[in-house]
Amino acid sequence: MEDNDLSADLDAFLAASEQELTGFRRDLHAYPEPGYAEQRTTRLLAERLAAAGLRPVVLPQGTGLLADIGISENQESGDQERRVVALRADLDALPMPDEKDVPYRSTVPGVCHACGHDVHTTVLLGTGLFLAGQARAGLLPGRVRLIFQPAEELGTGAQDVIAAGGLESVGRIFALHCDPRLDVGQLGVRSGPITAACDLIKVTLAGPGGHTARPHLTADVVYALGKIVTELPAALSRRVDPRSSLSLVWGRISAGSAANAIPNEGIAEGTVRCLDEEAWHSAADLVTGLVHSVAEAYGVTADVEYLRNDPPTINEEVSAQMFATAAAGVLGADAVVPTPQSLGAEDFAWYLTSVPGALARLGTRTPGARLVRDLHQPTFDVDERAIGVGVRVMAATALTALFDDGSTASRPPAHTYSG
């Protein structure tokens, strides 16, 4: 960019730092921490960033941190201060066992980095260290904010960052997510919706219960629960535009403890997902109303707990193009590929309700590998060459956004990624 050779600078940085970054990722993988328990991860990041001359600020809840890189005053030339470009990574692990046979296997029972957040964190750390060096050399034309966010898997961490002022002065925000369907060296880019909304629902039915020999003298909670579990998804398919792909899937059903007794309570829990923001806004009232209508028909009472979790992640067009342009510059044009919208959820979506930005998918599959370890599986792992690729992409994207400042919107892009 401008007069310096960004690719050469990145080559030199990664040649000196790749071993450290791989070791950092393996350490995080061996000592995973779930949402709001990321104290060790936060401490390690704060120490390393401070050693690089940055001033990390831990978030109020004690996990996660922010660190700014670069100028904060108007440039000496008299130009107005450019807005901040934010880069985000998530810190938390999943509550599941690690079943891999590797030296860096999780040492914490029942907790595992099975979604790649250890990679995201390491990529952002490497990006921050590189950009700090660029700033010292006078090659950073603005400010970059590193956001190391807690509790993404709980769907609340992004809102904590926003409440703590993490988006103040931010003009654009970018993030990566591991994708085991893409080879290392590839970046999946999409303009518009890239992930779905995801809400949580818990239905509790109650009735007098009784003997299974006399169901007519009871309110049959189990039968009513079965009706809700089977009929509600079908009813939604006739009440919502099918293009929104609204989907209700149950993950837990519980009722009773004896074969010959109708219980007085039953519970069903699941997730509601959809691709369309308008459908997401109306889903809570619609689902709740349908539950009560089915319950009433069988004489039971229904209590519905509906937790609005994450909206759809909708990539802003110019920001998505910045990702594609930057990645093509440091990886090659063939490395940038379209990616489909997923029914998975990402709380990065909350940032995009406040500022423009984009989420891209970082390839983690070893080229030619037959076995694909999917996300949220206890055997999930990555080809660690993805760390260096991620650093290249995030650093180049931050610099592209700082230099370009949105002017790509006024000229035709070389490639368009709309899925």
Answer with the one of 271, 286, 310 that is the final residue of a domain: 310
* Weakest-pLDDT range from 18-27, 166-175, 247-256, 274-283: 274-283
pLDDT at 71: 73
> 194 near 275, Cβ under 8 Å?
no
Query: 276: pLDDT confidence band, cut at 50, 70 and 90?
Result: confident
For the stretch 205-258, pLDDT in tens is 999 999 999 998 999 999 999 999 999 999 998 899 888 889 999 999 999 999
pLDDT in the model for residue 229: 97
Domain boundary among 310, 343, 363: 310
pLDDT-derived band at 81 (thresholds 50, 70, 90) equals low
* Cα–Cα distance for residue pair 300/66, rounded to 1 Å: 50
Burial class (CB in 10 A: 0-12, 13-18, 19+), 21: buried
Amino acid 80: pLDDT: 45
pLDDT at 79 > cutoff 80: no
- The whole-number average pLDDT for the span 144-160 is 97
Quick one: 298 and 335 in the same domain?
no
Same domain, 45 and 105: yes
Mean pLDDT within 250-278: 95
Helix (H, G, I), strand (E, B) or coil at 118: helix
Lookup: tokens for 361:
């998918």
Average pLDDT of the chain, as a whole number: 92
- Residues 30, 117: one domain? yes
* 212 belongs to a structural domain: yes
The residue out of 269, 295, 310 marking a domain boundary is 310
Number of domains comprising the chain:
2
Q: How confident is the model at residue 416 (pLDDT cuts 50, 70, 90)?
A: very low
What average pLDDT does the segment 131-150 reach? 96
Give the separation between CA 127 and CA 389, rounded to whole angstroms. Answer: 10
Q: Are 195 and 313 in contact (CB under 8 A)?
A: yes
Q: Are residues 274 and 362 in the same domain?
A: no
| pLDDT of amino acid 243 | 84
If asked whether residues 316 and 268 sit together in one domain, one would say no
Alpha-carbon dihedral 375, 381, 382, 387, rounded to 10 degrees: 100
Residue 372, token pair as written in the block:
């694909």
For residue 144, what is the domain's CATH number? 3.40.630.10
Residue 3 has pLDDT above 50, yes or no: no
Task: Kindly report which listed range (11-15, 152-156, 234-238, 254-258) carries the lowest average pLDDT score.
Answer: 234-238
The pTM for the full model equals 0.89
The C-alpha atoms of residue 336 and residue 325 are separated, in whole angstroms, by 9
Alpha helices in 204-276 (DSSP H): 221-239
Q: In the prediction, which pLDDT does 406 show?
A: 41
Q: Has residue 356 got a pLDDT over 90?
A: yes
Give the Cβ contact number of residue 120 at 10 Å.
27
In a domain, 415, yes or no: no
* Cβ-contact 262, 210 below 8 angstroms: yes
Per-residue confidence (pLDDT) for residue 327, from 0 to 100: 98
User: 112 pLDDT exceeds 70?
Assistant: yes
Q: What tokens were used for 310?
A: 């994450």
Answer yes or no: is pLDDT of 82 > 70: no
Q: Is residue 411's pLDDT more than 80?
A: no
Residue 412 pLDDT? 33
Confidence of residue 74 (pLDDT cuts 50, 70, 90): very low
Of 18, 12, 140, 9, the C-alpha closest to 390 is 18
Give me the domain span that covers residue 286.
197-310
150 and 166 part of one domain:
yes
pLDDT, position 259 = 96
pLDDT band at 311 (very low <50, low <70, confident <90, very high): very high
Same domain, 82 and 162: yes
- pLDDT tens digits, one per residue of 116-125: 999 999 999 9
pLDDT of residue 4: 64
**Could you tell me if 317 and 306 lie in one domain?**
no
Question: Does 346 map to a domain?
Answer: yes
The whole-angstrom separation of Cα 378 and Cα 95 is: 10
Query: CATH number, domain at 254?
Result: 3.30.70.360
Band of pLDDT at residue 300, cut at 50, 70 and 90? very high
User: pLDDT category, 272, cuts 50, 70, 90?
Assistant: very high
Domain check: are 202 and 332 in the same one?
no
Residues 178, 273: Cα–Cα separation, whole Å: 21
What residues have CB less than 8 Å from 108, skipping those under 6 apart? 31, 32, 33
The more confident residue out of 245 and 411 is: 245
